[in-house]
């Protein structure tokens, strides 16, 4: 029987990350992924994460209310847009070239 998988669940990723939401399957480029649609929690917008089956440690089926409570507890946040400028600004200021020139290597 080829039933469509669609359940509220707690998904554990390699024992390091726990997400709760609506879980389905999604195929991309011929590969199958587990799709977790995490509901909105407080001021956090809903978001979606896709995982390869080998990354998943366990999936525990729960009801919607439980999944929403768990999502609120973990408050997993989506990765925001990565900014090279923001990253570079967070690094310590480089030493002056005069100081670097005087170092013996």
CA distance 11 to 23: 8
Tokens of 44: 């956090």
User: pLDDT by residue (tens digit) across 67-94?
Assistant: 999 988 877 666 655 566 777 778 888 7
Structure tokens at 78: 């989506």
pLDDT reported for residue 79: 60
**pLDDT tens digit string along 20-72?**
999 999 999 999 999 999 999 888 889 999 999 999 999 999 999 999 999 88
Q: Where are the domains of the chain?
A: 6-77
The CATH code of the domain at 6-77 is 2.30.30
**pTM of the model as a whole:** 0.70
Among left, alpha and beta (phi > 0; psi -120 to 50; other), residue 15 is left
- The pLDDT of residue 68 is 94
């Amino acid at each position: 029987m080829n039933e469509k998988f669609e359940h509220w669940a707690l998904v554990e990723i390699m024992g390091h990350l726990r997400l709760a939401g609506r879980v389905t399957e999604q195929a991309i480029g011929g590969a199958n992924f587990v799709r977790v649609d995490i509901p909105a929690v407080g001021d956090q917008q809903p978001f979606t994460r896709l995982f390869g089956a080998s990354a998943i440690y366990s999936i525990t089926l729960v009801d919607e209310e439980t999944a929403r409570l768990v999502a609120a507890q973990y408050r997993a946040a989506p990765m925001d847009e990565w900014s090279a400028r923001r990253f570079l600004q967070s690094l310590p200021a480089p030493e002056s070239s005069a100081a670097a020139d005087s170092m013996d290597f």
